Structure 1
Amino acid sequence: MTQKKQSLFTRMAMAVAKAAGRPATFAAAAGIVVIWAASGPVFGFGDTWQLVINTGTTIVTFLMVFLIQNTQNRDTEAMQIKLDELIYAMKGANAALLDLEELDEKSLDVIRRHYLNRAAEAREKVGDTGLPGQEADHVDR
């Protein structure tokens, strides 16, 4: 399979997300806050001094929300594809569970209740909560 070239935004979002999660990035951000706080007496703790940190943190937070959401969407989609492949590849698996993320909340609630009931029945059959060492995996279907 040929990999399609990623868009500029995707490449940038991945790079920023990776960089933002590094300890050095946290240290740099903490350093900026320390420098800002230390400069307070020089600027008389004035309105402009406060505005600098407020504006800077607001802009960074605003932009990071979109980058983080982009990264989260990509990760979730990749995980869904992998889970779909596992369901598809397992003999006897319920193929109707493929693409559940495309259903509305009401449909998902119905399916979830079904699996909650199956779990409760399985726990009843082992007479316990199905903790490790129990035979909950071997409950008749």
Structure 2
Amino acid sequence: MHREKVNVFEQLATKITSWTGSSMAFGTAFGIIFVWGITGPIFQYSDTWQLVINTGTTIITFLMVFLIQKSQNKDSKAIQIKLNELIAASRHASNRIVDIEDLSESELDVLKKFYQKLSEMAQDDGDIHKSHSIDAAQNLHKRKSISNASKDRDINDLE
């Protein structure tokens, strides 16, 4: 029973947001405003005449904020799922960034800096087909660390 109510609301919200983004909705809204405007002289531009449009637009705006947010939340989830699928399906992509939308703002800033660095590395390479990922960068860093440690041992052995 509860699930049916949720589905009815979701279906209604989807239909309303779809309709309100249409040319027909714009034409209807424009028509209402036009009729309201031309009735001004009839009602002598009274306070009630002004209150009708102010109240109507305020109520519609208030309700639309929630419907638009519902639609945005649904779209955002769908996009995140699609992106996660692409990441998971890509052999070269790091699975660590799946579901990063759950990270804090400061954690996202750290990742952004890292990807800016990867971008700089790609530009320095001059080869747009060469891929840099978190895992590849970490593996390279480990190899360099091992190589540097080995060189340090060799230098120490020579001394």
- Normalised by the length of structure 1, the TM-score is 0.86
State how far apart, in whole Å, the 1-side matches of 2:74 and 2:131 are: 36
State how far apart, in whole Å, the 1-side matches of 2:116 and 2:16 are: 40
Structure 1 position 122, deviation (Å): 1.4
Q: Give the match for residue 79 of structure 1.
A: 79
Structure 1 position 117, deviation (Å): 1.0
Q: Give the match for residue 156 of structure 2.
A: none
Larger Cα-atom Rg: 2
Alpha carbons 1:125, 1:139 under 8 Å: kept: no
Structure 1 position 7, deviation (Å): 1.6
Between the two proteins, the alignment pairs up a number of residues equal to 130
State how far apart, in whole Å, the 2-side matches of 1:63 and 1:81 are: 28
Computed over aligned residues only, the root mean square deviation of the Cα atoms, in angstroms, reads: 1.6
Identity between Structure 1 and Structure 2 (%):
42
Q: Which amino acid in 2 is paired with 1:136?
A: I
Q: Give the match for residue 136 of structure 1.
A: 128
Q: Which amino acid in 2 is paired with 1:138?
A: K
Structure 1 position 72, deviation (Å): 0.4
- Normalised by the length of structure 2, the TM-score is 0.77
Alpha carbons 1:17, 1:71 under 8 Å: kept: yes
Identify which range, 86-95 or 54-63, moves more after superposition: 86-95
User: Which is helix-richer, 1 or 2?
Assistant: 2
Structure 2 unaligned regions, length at least 5: 137-159
